[in-house]
Structure 1
Amino acid sequence: MTDDTTQSPEEQTVAEDFKGKIEDVLPEDQSEAPSEDAELAKLREDLATAKQDVLYAKAETQNVRRRLEKDIADTRAYAATGFARDILSVADNLSRALSVIPAELREDEKLKNLIAGLDATGREIDKVFASHGITRIASTGLPLDPNQHQAMLEIPSADAEPGTIVQELQAGYMIKDRLLRPAMVAVAKKPD
């Protein structure tokens, strides 16, 4: 065995090579080592980035919450839309039935109560529509509004301005501020 204090020439060569490699890795001058100021600046930059990310996350969360609240409010306000569309055909049929009853049948004592009941049912349907924000669209005598009316035919008319609604074929309805069903109308055109 060799003594720890004395090294063979081979051991000295290995030790010098190792020492040289260590010196290559270690900086000779302290100015090349990262300074505390640079580390502090990097930490401040990282903190500013993290703060910005938190602000963006908060803003996005707030936007999602607002959208969700609006969707919930819309769902509540317009939940009855599908049902209302289905009931419109019932109201239309009742209205048509009442409009074709001749005057002599209205005066007949046997049918008077039946007709009064049908009239009351029609008024009740209108009342229920009003309580749920369903309103009838005005049409006859007004200019055609493609957002509320659907022109089904043109009728030559010398009395009405072209583009004016002269006849309502089927009533249109709104539910609050949305179109439930457009009014189907006949529009005046210049006579031939």
Structure 2
Amino acid sequence: MINTIIFDFGDIFINLDKPGIDKAFRELGLTEWHNDLNELNQLFEIGKISELEFIEGFQKHLPNASIEDIRKAWNKVLGDFPEYRLDFLQSLKGKYRLFLLSNTDKIHIDHFEHKVGMSFSRDFYNCFEKVYFSYEMGVRKPDVESFKQVINRHDLSPKRTLFVDDKKENTDAAASIGLEVWNLQVGKEDVTDLFAKKIINL
């Protein structure tokens, strides 16, 4: 019987606009997504480089873009957060131990909190026993260490824990250490389908 749920954040609760970020960087003059930008993103997501170092890495390819230009383009990926998903999450509180485990960075989290407002973000965070962001943890999914940190710190039973994520590489990693998983298909499924799809039985 599942008693704990660990949720991803992007495309589970907040919608991501991937075409939007591509368009924003093209408008700044980025013709292709270079490999070093992927590496830069991963380092930023585990807190190994500062915000300024991250932005300066983009400026190597976009010398005419300001710090604010790049920050705004980077935040274009963050879409809306439908309130019905928060309502659903709040309905789970008290019935399950809830955790958030997200690959993210400080620029995105600061923007999210500013965009939705203090009251909404506080209500969201308060649903969880603990919120885990990769840039604070120093590790990111699909590294199994990210899951182990949550399991060990809270004495969770993997077989009684469900992990929900839209990326198969992440759910595969979680399953490899014994967690139950739901690889949510964005556009076809919604986190609110948790019970309708018999992911968890009422």
**Max Rg structure:** 1
| TM-score category, normalised to shorter length | under 0.3
Q: Which has the higher helix share?
A: 1
Q: Which has the higher strand share?
A: 1
Report the TM-score when normalising by structure 1: 0.22
Report the TM-score when normalising by structure 2: 0.21
Higher relative contact order (CA 8 A, sep 6+): 2
